[in-house]
Structure 1
Amino acid sequence: MEWLQIVVLSLVQGLSEFLPVSSSAHLILVPVFSDWPDQGLAFDVALHLGSLAAVVLYFRHELVTMTASWGRSVAGRGTDDDARLAWWVILATIPVAVVGLAFEDVISEVMRSPLVLAGGLIVFGVVLGIADWRHRGTRSEYRMSVRDALWIGLAQALALIPGTSRSGITMTAALMLGLSREAAARFSFLLSIPVIVLAGGLEALGLAQDEVPVAWGDLAAGTVLSGISAYLCIHFFLVFIRRIGMQPFVVYRLILGVALIWLFG
């Protein structure tokens, strides 16, 4: 791989994984607008590993507390807010895991066209804009209920449609349920951890069956660049939405969606 390709793909993954703009759409579009060869499964796994490391590092204190509280809950020693939040993350992950395994082939083979991406970007961008404008509340992620977790989990399954955005649809659902912008984003980021593990695990299984030589230098560079950009993205996104909100991302989605329709329609 060329160094420019490594840098572009790493930054696209690191930034778009956590922004509500659809990382899958951007990663699909990179080869459409360039003459670069497919980066391969190994590099995809490396990019996911970088994103995973970033979100785990950023929320390391919360994750330690949640894990300890969840362990006490499983042992029957009481359930506090951190344990409940851990359970909500687990519960909200189940729908996307089931749907992803059931429809993986259909999604990867049929629904990756630029026009499908455009539809997902526009439709779910408008829904995000409405949720941020009309329905957001003040509740934190610690004040969620079982019902909230289930609805967000069901919404997350829609992210398997390219162009939807996993972070975008989970934030949309959380805002609709009355969470604040920051709470919606933070829960979405916590939800990304098991999802990235599952997605990366599936890709790693495919990689294990692939006999193509591995360029370890490329993988290391992709992991580091993806991780750094993802970490910075999480930090500045939380600051940005506190001051400005989601509407700039809605506008970006609409512009990109219309551009795709104009180019490929």
Structure 2
Amino acid sequence: MDWLIAILLGVLQGATEFLPISSSAHLRIAGELLPGAEDPGATFTAITQIGTEIAVVVFFWRDISRIIAKWFGSLRGRVAKDDPDVKMGWLVIIGTIPIVLAGVLFQDLIRDQWRSLWITATVLIVFGIILGLCDMLGKRVKTLETTTYRDGLLIGLAQVLALVPGVSRSGATTSMGRALGYERPAAAKYAFFLAVPAVFGAGLYETAQAITEPSSVGLGWGPTIVATIVAFLVGIAVIKWLMAFISRGSFLPFVIYRIALGAVLLVALSAGWIDAQ
């Protein structure tokens, strides 16, 4: 049963990681609803997210490899420091600092209190509304090439909110990007780039911790690895679909979905159908 649950959770992780609907919230909810399952935990979530971030690296390989090469080239004086790719490298570094600090400072809250389904349901609704307002009111004029260091840091600060299940990493960063006036594809692409070091860092850290504490991997290593591979395969398809969708459509369907899911979850919790912790 653990293998089947792992595959289902892997599909869910890959399908929801890049959409602004919170993959961690869906994994948390699925852990309560799937027969024989339970909350997969922060460790399982962080490890399977490695699969989805590998999908990002594969999909945007040309962009990411070029940015890395030019950034290192600028350190050796071979590439101009004002090169757009060099600037993007620094933007990703600056934008990643806030979530690294928050991840270290709030480790206990991330693993325990913040995983309450009451919190998850509430932030699904609240940040769904925020996403809708930012998407609707955003000026939609800035491109990825015009990203400033101030904007990069602000979007990085928004990424910190993703530590709370239900907020959504892509939802928080994209909302901030839209609020700052960036086009949907530009906001989404920077969100993808920004997530890579943060998610890889968290995933590798949790993997190292799990090696010394195997009990922290609730489903076991075998199922967790399978879930990570499944998340990668599904994630590739979802990235391709999402980038095509946002080039012509709004985030409204995701806003409606978030609010509806949060409302249903609140009803289920109030009625005692599922346990909040």
Same fold (TM over 0.5): yes
The 1:158/1:63 distance shift into structure 2, 3 A limit, reads same
CA deviations 1:3-49 (Å, max 9, x no partner) are 43122100111111111001111111111112334557875465223
Deviation at 1:218, TM superposition (A): 3.0
Q: Which residue identity is paired with 1:64? A: S
CA deviations 1:204-231 (Å, max 9, x no partner) are 1221212459966534432321111111
Deviation at 1:125, TM superposition (A): 0.8
Q: Which moved further from structure 2: 240-249 or 219-228?
A: 219-228
Give the TM-score normalised by the residue count of structure 1.
Answer: 0.93
Q: Give the gaps of 5 or more residues in structure 2.
A: 271-277
CA deviations 1:107-134 (Å, max 9, x no partner) are 2211211110011111111111011111
What is the RMSD of the two structures over their aligned residues, measured on CA atoms?
2.0
Specify the alignment match of 1:23 in structure 2.
Answer: 23
CA contact (8 A) 1:136 1:181 kept: no
The 1:111/1:44 distance shift into structure 2, 3 A limit, reads closer
CA contact (8 A) 2:48 2:225 kept: no
Equivalent of 2:152, from 149, 152, 161? 149
* Residue 240 in structure 1 maps to residue 241 in structure 2: no
CA contact (8 A) 2:20 2:168 kept: yes
Instruction: Name the CA distance, whole Å, in 2 between partners of 1:215 and 1:260.
Output: 28
1:148-167 correspondence runs (5 A): 148-167=151-170
Instruction: Name the CA distance, whole Å, in 2 between partners of 1:92 and 1:49.
Output: 19
The 1:136/1:161 distance shift into structure 2, 3 A limit, reads farther
Give the 4+ runs in structure 1 shifted more than 4 A.
Answer: 38-46, 211-217
Q: Give the gaps of 5 or more residues in structure 1.
A: none
Equivalent of 1:196, from 196, 199, 202? 199
Instruction: Name the CA distance, whole Å, in 1 between partners of 2:259 and 2:144.
Output: 28
Give the TM-score normalised by the residue count of structure 2.
Answer: 0.89
Specify the alignment match of 2:103 in structure 1.
Answer: 100
Q: Classify the secondary structure of the residue corresponding to 1:243.
A: coil
Number of equivalent positions: 265
Instruction: Name the CA distance, whole Å, in 2 between partners of 1:215 and 1:105.
Output: 22
Q: Which moved further from structure 2: 39-48 or 93-102?
A: 39-48
The 1:255/1:142 distance shift into structure 2, 3 A limit, reads same
Instruction: Name the CA distance, whole Å, in 2 between partners of 1:58 and 1:189.
Output: 10
CA contact (8 A) 1:41 1:206 kept: no
Q: Which moved further from structure 2: 30-39 or 130-139?
A: 30-39
